[in-house]
Amino acid sequence: MNFRSVPSFAALGLAAALTIPAADIPRPTPDMQFKMPSGGVIDLAQYRGKVVVLEFLITTCPHCQKCSQILQKAQDEYGSKGFQALGVATNEMAHMLVPDYVKNFNLRFPIGFAPREQAHEFLQHPMMLIMYVPQLVFIDRKGVIRSQHAGGSDFFKEEEKNIRARVEELLKEPAAATSKAPAKAPAKPAAASKKAA
């Protein structure tokens, strides 16, 4: 058997990743509520007017744990300037695991839980494909998703630096007028086209 003719799992994984359709960016933030271990509910709409970074995570994932700690640092530094970090755990039994996750990593921003299917829908990620975590979603003051980044992407090579730069960039933008209606995504330049997958 000629082993060189057999593609490696890494190559297959890369090929699969390259065929994942890209999420629409920018796009209005869809309605989303997620439950808190305390029994309350967090509604993303209540943070309109703030710059929000939403982390979809799995409580047992070391990369998610690191990301959550970076977001806590960002919350401490930028919270008074209109920034809000949020976390949503999607692993099984998350409702039981989130309290220890919060306690073990001294996290003071809201972290709740939601079904994995809800995360896939929010992220425009096909259900049949593996979703690498953490998934970070950057939402501007007008309620528009401006970028999102999957675990393992280049964004996470300099994670803290990139998170801070993106948050600072969005905080410089003016706050939106108070409105209950979802904001429209900024118009794309006429000549711009979608990046090839």
Domain ranges of the chain: 24-171
**Domain 24-171 in CATH: superfamily?**
Glutaredoxin (3.40.30.10)
Least confident segment among 21-30, 49-58, 89-98 = 21-30
Token couple for 175: 């706050």
Between 6 and 64, the higher pLDDT residue:
64
**Measured between alpha carbons, how far is 51 from 46 in angstroms, rounded to an integer?**
12
Predicted model pTM: 0.81
Lookup result for tokens 């960039």: 169
pLDDT tens figures, 29-48: 999 999 999 999 999 999 99
Residues 54, 140 contacting (CB under 8 angstroms): no
**153-188 tens-digit pLDDT:** 999 999 999 999 999 999 999 876 654 545 555 555
Q: Which residues contact 152 (CB under 8 A, 6 or more apart)?
A: 132
Beta strands in the chain (DSSP E): 27-28, 33-35, 41-43, 51-57, 83-89, 111-113, 135-139, 144-150
